[in-house]
Amino acid sequence: MASKIQIKLNGQRAASIKEKEHIEIEIPEGKANLKVTQFTANSNKITVKDGDIIEITSTPFYRISVPLIVPILFLVNLIPNLTYRLIISGAFFALIVVSQFYFKIFNLRVVANKRGQHP
């Protein structure tokens, strides 16, 4: 089971959400900046207003990179020299962690507004 995604309004943690879960968050000032994070992974920042319905999806980078992890690790294990194998494995894991800081893993978008306003 994946860890919860943290929802931040104006930089402050507002709620947590699981995959396929729907929640409502009150926006106290009628308008706020919204961003989500999960460990070091983050999203784009969008401005939301009261009544907006937001969709959280994974980015193409995430959908492509995650399935590649297992085959790459398998290929690394084929390297006969243990020292080289450890160096390459360490560099690969460092690349994964660093990429989460530089690439957005989640994409946020306003899909509708409950009050009938256009997003």
Comparing 30-34, 88-92, 94-98, the range with the smallest average pLDDT is 94-98
pTM for the model: 0.75
Q: Is the pLDDT of residue 119 over 60?
A: no
Alpha-carbon span 45 to 79, nearest angstrom: 41
Domain that holds residue 9: 1-58+105-119
| Cβ–Cβ under 8 Å, residues 38 and 106 | yes
Tell me the pLDDT band of 44, cut-offs 50, 70 and 90: very high
Q: Which amino acid is at 4?
A: K
3-state secondary structure of 61: helix
Same domain for 31 and 52, yes or no, is yes
Same domain for 24 and 36, yes or no, is yes
What does 85-111 look like in DSSP terms, one character per residue? HHHHHHHHHHHHHHHHHHS--EEEEEE
3-state secondary structure of 112: strand
Q: Is the pLDDT of residue 5 over 80?
A: yes
Number of domains in the chain: 2
